[in-house]
Structures are given as C-alpha cells and as structure tokens.
Amino acid sequence: MATVEAKKHHELYKELGTIVGPKYVSDERAVLLSYTRDISAFPAAKPQGVVARPGSVQEVVELVKLANHTRTPLIPMGGKNSYSGVPDGQPGRGIVVDMRRMNKVLEIDEVNMAVTVQAGIHLGEMLSRVNERGWGVHGALMPHYGDTVGGQLSGYAGGGWGQYGPSVGFNGHHYLLGLKVVLPDGSVVDTGSGEGGISSYRGHTFTKLMHGPDFSGIFLCDSGMFGIKVEATYRMFRPPKFQKDGVRYWDNPDGPNEVLNELWEIDPHLYMQPYSRFIVLSPKIPGSSEEIWFLHWLSLGNSEEELKLKFKTVEAACAKHGAKLPDPAIADAMIERLGVHENWEVGKLANMGQMPFFELVVSKRDLMESIKWACEYLDNLIIKMSKAGIDTSNIPLNRTFLPAGPEGIGIIAVCPFFNQSNKEAHKMVYEGFLEFLEQAHRRGYSFDGTHNNGSKYKARFWTPQYYAFVSTLKKTLDPNNIMNPGVYNF
Amino acid sequence: MSELEKVRADVYNCVRCMVCSAKYNWEQHVLRVCPLWEHSAGFWSNLPAGRNQLALEILEGNLDVSELPVEAIYECLLCANCRQQCGALDLATGKPFIDQPAITKALRAELFAAGLAPEGARMFGDNVEKTHNVLGGPVKGRTSWLTPDIKVATDADTVFFPGCLAAYRSPEIAQATAKILNKAGIKFSILGEEEWCCGNPLIMTGQLRLAKKVAKHNVEQLKGKKVITSCAGCARCFMQEYPELLGEGHELNVVHIVELLPELIESGKIKFKAHKGKKEIVTYHDPCELGRYRGIYDQPRKVIQSIPGIELVEMVRNREKTWCCGGGGGLKAANYALSLEIGKDKIPEALATGAKRIISACPSCKASINDTIRAMGKEAEIKAIDITELVAEES
C-alpha cells in the first residue's frame, strides 16, 4: 500500500504563521520561485525557504526576533523593480519578508506639509493619495507603480524629479523627514528629528536636526542590510497649476547639454519648481545608424504668464544651440513615451523588451565624457553580439541622460532592450553589464544597482577604510548577519 | 504543442514591471488593477506578472506543472484588467504585447491535463458531459424558459441562443430577449435540446478537449445562421475562442443583443413608453467579456440613455476600468467566498451613483452582483437586472 508523505514545511513555518497569520506564509516552491527575479532579467536567485507577509510593525518586530533567535536570514522585498538581481539570502532556508501588505497612508498632515506612509506602499499610490488633496510628494523618474517606498529608499532613494530639477536621491537627501526602522535585534528606531522621532513629530512642527543627529542616512541605499524600513515621512508641496511639454532634437548629445548648461546658470533657477524636468533620450533605430538626441522638457508655472515665460526661455536656448523642431507626430510620440505627468513608467518601455539599465551617476563635470563612453560601450557590446552571430536588429537601444544641474550630477542610462527568450543575447548582455560596472568604477563613476550584483560591485570598490567602517556598523547592528546577507558582500 | 508553448511569446514579453500590481494611478485616480491580488494572500504568484513568471519557470525547466499553486491559478477572474492596464502593445501589430488571461488559461489547461484541476472546475466538465449544460440541469429543461406568449419560428435564418445561465438560472433574461425580438419583428428559432454549452466555462477552466467537442456541435448547428445571444460569455466565445479552438473558418455570425438594440431603437422597431416626472437613476456595469474583451462600451449606454424615464449615472470605475463583478473566470466555482469579497468592492460604487438598479448585459454578472448584494444585506437598497429586462419593461 502506497503511503502519502506529509509535506515537510520550513522549520519556522508554524511560528511565522502565528506571527503574520497562516494565510500570509508560504513555503510552496512555486510561490518562492516567484520571488527570485527582478525586472532586470539577470539570472534568477535560488529560492529562499519561506515567504511571510507582515501586516504591522509589531509583526515585523516579532518576525525579526524569531529570525535572530534562530539565526535565519531575512530578505526584505518590495516591488521587485531593482535592476541588478535579487539578493542571495540563504537558498532553501531564508525568509523573504514581502512588505507590500504594509501599504497604508498613515497620516496626511496638511498643516505641517507631511505625509507618513507604511513602507510597503507603492510610490504611485502614495503620490495619488496626496495628489487627491492637492499636494505632491517628490517621486521618482521610474519605477512609479511597481516600486515601494521601502524598496526605493533602500536603493538610491529616488532618482528623477527633485524640487530643483532632476536629481538623485532627493527623497532621502531633501524630502525624507524621518523613518521608522525595525533593527536586526527587533528593536524599533525612529530617525529624523530625535526626541521620539516620527511618532512625536506627528502633529507638531518638525525641524530636522534640531534635537540631535539624523541617522536616517545609514538606512538609505543600505539594500536592507541594517534593518527593515516600516514607515517613512515625506515633506509635501503644492504642485504648480500650469504645465506644458516641449520637444526638440539634435544629432548629437552636445546640443542639449549646452542648452542645459545655459539654463542652469539662470537665477532664479528656471526650473526651481517641483516636477520641472529635462530629459535627453536617444533612441537608435534598429537596423540603421540613425541616432537622434531628443530633449524633452516640462515647464510649470503657477500662472499662465509664468508658464509662458519659462517655456519661451527654454525654446530660445534650444534655438540658440541649433535645436531642430521634430515633426509634431514624433513629438507627441516622445511625450507619450515619456509620460505627460510626473512619472515615467517602466511599463511604457516594456514592449521594447527586458530593460537592463546600464545606469551611471556622474558629476556634472564628467557628464559629456561619460555619456560618450557609455554610448560607445553600448555600441561595442552590440558589435560584439553581432560578431557572435546574434541578430541585433531587434534589440532597440536607448540612451538617456538626465542632467541634474543644481545637484551637480547627471544620471546616464544606456539600455540594450532584449527579449529574455533570446538566451545568447541575455548571456552577453549580463556579462556586458558586469563588465560595465567594473569599467565604470575604474573611471570613477557611480552606478545604479544596490541589490545583488550591483551592491557586490559597489562594495568591491570601497576603500579598505570605508569597508571597515561599514563593516563595524553592520556587525554592531546585526552581529548575526541575518539582515539581507550577501548584499554589499556582507 | 503544449498550451504553454502557444503563449510562449507572451510569457517572455512580460518584463515584470509590476504595473499589474498598481493600486492607484496618477492619471486615473481610481484605478486598481488586480482583484485577486487585493483579496488573496497577495504573494507574487497571485499577481498577473507572478503567474507569467511561473509560466516562464515551467518553460525554462525550473518548475513542474505539478508544483503550480492551483488556487492562485484558478482564482484569477480572467477579467483582463491587467491586460488593459498593462497597456504594452506589440509595436508591429498594435495588439496587446502580453495576453495575461491567455497565459492563465494555458496554465489551467496544463493543470487540467495533469489531473490537478480543482473539483469546482472539473464539475463544469462533468455537467457538460452529462447534460450539455454547465449547470447540470436536465436536458429537457433547456427550453423551460419559454412562455406561451413568446413566438418561436421553426425555420428562421436567425437563431436565439440564450446560453446555459439564461436558460436554466435566469429565464427572465431569455424571456426578455425573446420578447424584444418578437416586438422588433425579428423571426428567430432556437436550438432547443440541441443547444449545448458554448464551451466558455470549459475553456476558462482548461478543459479544452471537451470544449472542442461542444464547439464542433454548436458550429454544426449554427453554421450559416445569424446568432443572437444575450450572454456576453457565449458571444465572446463564439467570436474569439472558436477560431482558436477549431481553426480559421469556424467563426459564427453572432451578435450580442446590445449590439443590435441601438439599431432597433433608431429604426423605430423598438419604441419606449413616454415618461413624465422624475427619471429613475440607474448605473451600468460593463461585463468584462463585452467590454475589455470586445470593446463594447457605447452601445449599452446608448440604449439606456434612449429610454425616456431613465437617467444613467456612471460608477466611478466604468468602461475599461470597470471592476469585475467577482463572477468571472470560474471563480464562483473555485472559491465562492472570494468571489463575494471581490464583488463587494463594486456595491458601494453603485450605491454612490444614487441608483437602485445596476444594469448589466450578462446573466453571470447579474447573478454575481445579486449574490453579493444578498451577502451584504443590501437587497432593500439595490439590485442588478439585465439590460434586456429594462428594455422589455420600458418598451
């Protein structure tokens, strides 16, 4: 007589069910596999042992204490919109902490212009919620719908539209008022204002750095290695009422760069308004050598007169530096692709293929040199792929630079879109990506990617002193190394 | 070729951008995409992109069909809101780049072939095998909806195909449709006991062999005729599934009654009663299989707006953004409680319009919405009726 073996569950399956509710725990292999890939299409991680979906700070606290007690790795996860792979964790044993159940807006404090959210909320939902009341919060260039607040802050804290134009990390640097974090020992810390942090801030006037040092920063871009973010408070602002898009083009990236350099010098700053944006995008048409550099901008104003003045100023700068006016249909298509509102959604590009963004963050001084280098790198990669017999005619290429003048930096992203069914292309793009990170760092450029592969590369280039400093912090906060082991090579 | 192989391109096209996990949308404030994700345990595998990834893992050889989470696959409503909101189009053809419902149906077909489909889904097939209708009603009861005042021809070029639900569960819809056709002077016959299930519930639950059998039968019966139906599922199945199932050349000449009504009203073949005084506010629920699958949004609205005593007030989510009634994709058979939970999201939206009646154009939607209303104890406040009932009542 055949015997049916009872399914052997993960060692903590029952305890996790007690903490978050049995419905929100799974150790089914298929479910775990669905947590092994991010948006990059780079090799899937090996599945962890179990996934739990906490619904409150207290549940996260208990979950962390259990993991600490049993020395079981935790792999916090948000919207899986990272570009450099899912962290290694401990295959077969680690606990994926899926944070998306904690997706509520806790408070919109209009008097103090602040919004407090749970960290599992999608960025798009947070923005929509505050927008319903006539407010804005600084978002990200993308992802917009898929990214969670916790995931974004654990990465580079939001790249895109800052108050003073496009910027990197503005959520963390300028507009994040505080965080609530569950530390690896299960204790909860509020960062931001001191004196009880966020919880005492609510309903009171908030002045950052008045009550002591602000340690929010160590949890930004930490890839979740220092704790699990459970709440965040952001500054809100009133968005301008009027807006207008414009598009011009050149056959090289120097033209738009000159325009932007000129605009950066205007005082008061022309686009010192939330959402104002400039983005330069160069799609290379597959199978041809034609390359066009589009400058797309969005002017905003609180009156029609202000809007007109700003728009005309940009138009004039473009004309001065030899811009061409595209066919209206092309201009409309560009605006549609880039999104007419704040967000530039990843999904808008999804039909071009998988998007392994080779993304650099460079100083303003290095902008043109690094753009040219990144484009050349991409072209050489395509040539290499062609020589290897890969049909590259169906691999659209995009080159983007997002200059952040007032920040003194620029974001550059080149992307060989490919279909993940093309295994050879997949392999070569992945190898090319790793080589790109290596070369970029040798040149002194920073790159996006704070998750698996990206964080490992970043850590490889840290100075011994810096590595020792971060290592001391890690060992102090997380002596058992249960928090996202593997990221930054810890 | 396995069913998953047929959707291979769609599977690989999904880049897991997770737009299908969106709950809010900057441009369309009220958008929420996936009812299952919101009302289930919410693991990635409960999301369209997550299911796409499971299909990918099978195609990549990393996962066996026997390891699929059966509930997550069978609880999808196939409401196609994910396909609609994903919005990615094939640059060459202009068609949806990722057909998520097709991927889910392929996963179900694989599960069914492996003998792993849930009992509720298998019940559809058992019923159709035995009685040729999905509800398991007696074969002889197929025409019990007919009342003496309905005129049916024996040799007409037009066939009225009420479908299983209207024939067995909601005879008032079949009756209203037949009376409208009588009033408009459209001579029609019915198939009687030769009317078999269209196959839609079978295709949705992965039972393709049996679906093919009933499709062949129906095509034999209906070929060369003009088919009128009041069921959104039957209409879509005849139009979109039969060519897939049986190959090109097996399309039927079929219309849903809401596609016909505007013409009948305009030509004066259907006339509405005059009305004095305050108009009744109603709201309209777009059936997924009529709306998102076929783009039929304007016709039912035109019909409702042409009735003198009726004022149409839209729910906050309407047309392409309509929230499924909760009865799609065979969910009621797979998980009735979950179906009600999803349906409950719709009722407050309908009540907010001030309507006391929700009009729909699908027997399944009507039944699901009324089930939810009962479960919420709101029977005194609102109810769902079919558009054919409204037209029959007012003409």
- Same structural domain for residues A294 and A182? no
Question: pLDDT tens digits for B21-66?
Answer: 876 654 444 568 899 988 999 999 999 999 999 999 999 999 999 9
CA distance B315 to chain A (A): 18
- Same structural domain for residues A379 and A433? yes
Which segments of chain B belong to CATH 3.40.50.10700?
A: 271-394
Q: Do the chains contact at A145 and B18, CB–CB below 8 Å?
A: yes
Domain termination residue (choose one: A100, A117, A134): A100
Q: Do the chains contact at B26 and A355, CB–CB below 8 Å?
A: no
Rounded Cα gap, residues A178 and A190, in angstroms: 7
- Residue of B15, B23, B57 lying closest to A33 (CB–CB): B57
In chain A, which residue's Cα lies nearest the Cα of B68? A30
CA distance A100 to chain B (A): 8
CA distance A330 to chain B (A): 15
CATH number of domain containing A210: 3.30.465.10
Return the SS3 of B237.
helix
In degrees and rounded to multiples of 5, residue B153 shows phi and psi of -85, 165
The answer to whether residue A209 is domain-embedded is yes
The answer to whether residue A167 is domain-embedded is yes
Mapping DSSP onto H, E and C, the string for chain A reads: CCCCCCCCCCCCHHHHHHHHCHHHEECCHHHHHCCCCCCCCCCCCCCCCEEECCCCHHHHHHHHHHHHHHCCCEEEECCCCCCCCCCCCCCCCCEEEEHHHCCCEEEEECCCCEEEEECCCEHHHHHHHHHCCCCECCCCCCCCCCCEHHHHHHCCCCEEEECCEEEECHHHHHHEEEEEEECCCCCEEECCCCCCHHHHHCCCCCCCCCCCCCHHHHHCCCCCCCCEEEEEEEECECCCCEEEEEEEEECCCHHHHHHHHHHHCCCCCCCCCCCCEEEEEEEECCCCCCECEEEEEEEEECCHHHHHHHHHHHHHHHHHCCCECCCHHHHHHHHHHHCCCCCCCHHHHHHHCECCCEEEEEEHHHHHHHHHHHHHHHHHHHHHHHHCCCCHHHCCEEEEEEEECCCCEEEEEEEECECCCCHHHHHHHHHHHHHHHHHHHHCCCEECCCCHHHHHHHHHCCCHHHHHHHHHHHHHHCCCCCECCCHHHC
The answer to whether residue A211 is domain-embedded is yes
Q: Do the chains contact at A31 and B69, CB–CB below 8 Å?
A: yes
CATH number of domain containing A306: 3.40.462.10
Domain count, chain A: 3
CA distance A56 to chain B (A): 15
Q: Do the chains contact at B24 and A103, CB–CB below 8 Å?
A: no
Q: Do the chains contact at A80 and B54, CB–CB below 8 Å?
A: no
Return the SS3 of B296.
coil
Q: Do the chains contact at A80 and B18, CB–CB below 8 Å?
A: yes
Residue A20: domain span: 13-100
The two tokens of residue B194 are 């030769």
CATH number of the domain located at residue range(s) B271-394 in this protein:
3.40.50.10700
In chain A, which residue's Cα lies nearest the Cα of B8? A421
- Same structural domain for residues A199 and A343? no
**Would you give per-residue pLDDT tens digits along chain A (490 residues)?**
455 566 789 999 999 999 999 999 999 999 999 999 988 777 899 999 999 999 999 999 999 999 999 999 999 999 888 888 899 999 999 999 999 999 999 999 888 888 999 999 988 888 888 888 888 887 676 667 788 999 989 987 666 555 555 556 666 666 788 889 999 999 998 887 644 444 445 544 456 666 677 788 899 889 999 999 999 988 888 878 888 888 888 888 888 888 888 887 777 666 544 445 666 766 655 455 567 788 888 788 889 999 999 899 999 999 999 999 887 877 776 666 555 444 445 556 667 777 778 888 888 788 889 988 998 999 899 999 999 999 887 787 777 777 665 667 778 888 888 888 888 998 999 999 889 988 998 888 888 777 777 888 889 888 999 999 999 999 999 999 999 999 999 9
The answer to whether residue A490 is domain-embedded is no
In chain A, which residue's Cα lies nearest the Cα of B28? A128
The answer to whether residue A482 is domain-embedded is no
In degrees and rounded to multiples of 5, residue B265 shows phi and psi of -70, -45
Measured between beta carbons, the chain A residues lying within 8 angstroms of B316 are none
- Same structural domain for residues A273 and A314? yes
CATH number of domain containing A50: 3.30.43.10
Residue count of chain B: 395
Residue A393 in contact with residue A353, Cβ under 8 Å?
no
The answer to whether residue A81 is domain-embedded is yes
The answer to whether residue A474 is domain-embedded is no
- Same structural domain for residues A328 and A419? yes
The two tokens of residue B281 are 């506010």
Measured between beta carbons, the chain A residues lying within 8 angstroms of B14 are 350
- Same structural domain for residues A80 and A137? no
- Which among A415, A347, A125 has a CA at the least distance from the CA of B48? A347
The answer to whether residue A259 is domain-embedded is yes
